[in-house]
Amino acid sequence: MKVKFKNSIHNELISIFGKDNVLIDQHQLYVYSHDCSNIRSKNIKKPFAVVFPIDVYQVQKLVLLANEKHLSLVARGIGTNHVGSCVCLNDSSIIISFIKMDKIIKINPINLTVEVEPGVVVENLQKELGKQDLFFPPDPSNQKVSLIGGAIAQSAGGPRGFKYGTVKDYVLNLEVVLPNGEIIETGKNCHKNVEGYNLTQLFVGSEGTLGVITKATLKVIPQSEANNVILIYFETIDEAANAVCSIISHHIMPSVLELMDNNTLKTIEKFKPSGLKTQYEACLLLEVDGFASTIAQQCETVKTLCYNNNAKDVIISQNDEEKEKIWIARRSSFACCTKLAPNVIADDFVVSREFIPLAVKTIQNICKKHGIIVCIMGHIGDGNIHPNYALDLNDENEMNRFNACRSEIIDEIIKLKGSITGEHGIGFEKAKYIEKSIGSVNIQLMKSIKNIIDPKNIMNPNKIFK
């Protein structure tokens, strides 16, 4: 980009956002050329600038500027996605950081809704709602830092997905700045709405490729009265999976149904000792919730069913401290994996629940064959498996083995009619696999939708598909 043109754009950005809300320092821009995907690619560029809007009209002015000057726009929450969804792929990209649009605009306890700006931290939203005994269930494991705009654009999930669904199930209405600068609402702040096509769901999970979300109305529910956390150990993954089926068929809907494999247990114990039993192949982390009077009964039923399915140990938490200790261990699992090798790549697959043992064993075997360290955890209730591969991205030989390993795993998941992502999205990193999974007709349809909404390809170009 020519220096004169660059300077004139910088000046226009400063006139829209003010000097304090525009970053152009090269060192600071370097930070924004990464996200949690760890991707190394010569296609990834430093952004040309980062801007921090404080309202929708600043975003609108930016979109109009991008149209006029042929710039690309990449919306960014806090950059914790695992698939390169918010890295820049050309040197005329501007990152829109939403950290300054962080207001909880209105909690409506009558309608059971909350209106938020995209920069609200997910955990802060939950805490504020909790003060009114309200609950927003989606809980990406990094909810302490991730922003609601990122969670909506990525259609994030988390451990509570099995009983409560994921972000997509809670979005009623979005304010979006379209690529042509128009500001629309995709729906109404109502719990039911079938006015034509479901535009809201089109934008949920679209990874910032169709427009910029500047406000959201979310559904909330009453907080359950009580809960408890149970850890259950098994000698095989099959036994753990059988226990899960047995629990569900006895009409217990745990609010959380998580699986950790032996490598995950060992890795957590190595770096964040939490008293987990590392001699077992599989551990279920279960949370039950509901009226206080039902919790002890639910725990006892779960315990009996698990022992009937060959559980080796069932530990029911006795107090809040014990519950919190278990949750800290689970939420530390990714951080612990990062200590096994210089880098970690977090993966995300979904299979129909009956294929969980087969899928887990297949991933373990393929990784073993290629010499790749893997810790597998997942939201087993949803059939959602997260292998975390620990490796060195600078080791060419290891990366070649990893790429072969990953391709093989993806082929097997597709053979099982599974999905190559349940919550992390496609981004830049999985774009090479999506056609294999969903087929060329679906890809063409998606590309046509993108082309109608964003004919100049301004919004987060070259993500989801090439």
Ligand X SMILES: Cc1cc2nc3c(=O)[nH]c(=O)nc-3n(C[C@H](O)[C@H](O)[C@H](O)COP(=O)(O)OP(=O)(O)OC[C@H]3O[C@@H](n4cnc5c(N)ncnc54)[C@H](O)[C@@H]3O)c2cc1C
Footprint of ligand X (CB under 6 A) = 35-36, 74-82, 85-86, 98, 118, 140-142, 146-147, 149-151, 153-154, 156-158, 207-208, 212-213, 334, 423-424, 460
Residue 162's nearest CA partner among 346, 348, 334, 384 is 384
User: Smaller CB distance to ligand X: residue 239 or 429?
Assistant: 429
In terms of CB distance, is 79 or 461 closer to ligand X? 79
Strands 93-97 and 72-76: parallel
CB-hemisphere CA count at 13 Å for 5?
A: 9
Q: Phi-psi bin for 181: left (phi > 0), alpha (psi -120 to 50), beta?
A: left
| Contact between 246 and 284 (Cβ < 8 Å) | no
Rounded CA-CA distance 114/117 in Å is 10
Q: Which is nearer to ligand X, 295 or 413 (CB)?
A: 413
Question: Does an H or E element contain 200, and which?
Answer: helix 199-203
Residue listed under structure tokens 């955890």: 377
The owner of tokens 């022992």 is 307
**Shortest distance in whole angstroms from residue 107 CB to ligand X:** 20
* Residue placing its CB nearer to ligand X in the complex, 167 or 356: 167
Q: In the structure encoding, which two tokens stand for residue 295, read together?
A: 């919790």
* Closest CB 68 distance from ligand X, rounded Å: 21
CB of 213 to ligand X, least distance (A): 4
Q: How many CA atoms lie within 13 A of 42 on its CB side?
A: 0
Maximum alpha-carbon separation in the chain: 74
Asked if 56 and 183 count as a contact pair (C-beta separation under 8 A), the reply is yes
CB-nearer residue toward ligand X: 282 or 345: 345
Q: Which is nearer to ligand X, 154 or 298 (CB)?
A: 154
Q: Kindly state the smallest distance separating residue 296's Cβ from ligand X, in Å.
A: 28
The number of beta carbons lying within 10 Å of the beta carbon of residue 252 is 18
Given a contact cutoff of 8 angstroms between Cβ atoms, the answer to whether 210 and 203 are in contact is yes
**Of 155 and 362, which has the nearer Cβ to ligand X?**
155
Alpha carbon separation from 392 to 111, 342, 345 (Å, rounded) = 50, 5, 10
Are the C-beta atoms of residues 454 and 203 closer than 8 Å to each other? Answer: no
Minimum distance from residue 309 beta carbon to ligand X (Å):
26
Least separation, in Å, of the C-beta of 127 and ligand X? 17
Query: Which C-beta is closer to ligand X: that of 406 or that of 424?
Result: 424
How far apart, in whole angstroms, are the C-alpha atoms of residue 263 and residue 239?
A: 17
Asked whether 359 and 422 are in contact (CB, 8 A), the reply is no
Q: Which is nearer to ligand X, 210 or 299 (CB)?
A: 210
Cβ at position 150, least distance to ligand X in Å: 2
Least distance (Å) between residue 273 CB and ligand X: 19
Minimum distance, C-beta of residue 158 to ligand X, in the bound complex (Å): 4
Q: Give min distance, CB of 375 to ligand X, in A.
A: 13
Provide the 3-class DSSP secondary structure of residue 406: helix
What would the two tokens of residue 160 be? 């509570």
CB of 35 to ligand X, least distance (A): 5
Which residues have a Cβ under 8 Å from the Cβ of 266 and sit 6 or more positions away?
Answer: 278
Which residue's CB is nearer to ligand X, number 89 or number 226? 89
Of all helices (H) and strands (E), which one includes residue 447?
A: helix 440-453
Name the H helices within 260-419.
262-271, 292-308, 320-331, 333-337, 356-370, 396-415
Q: Which is nearer to ligand X, 367 or 461 (CB)?
A: 461
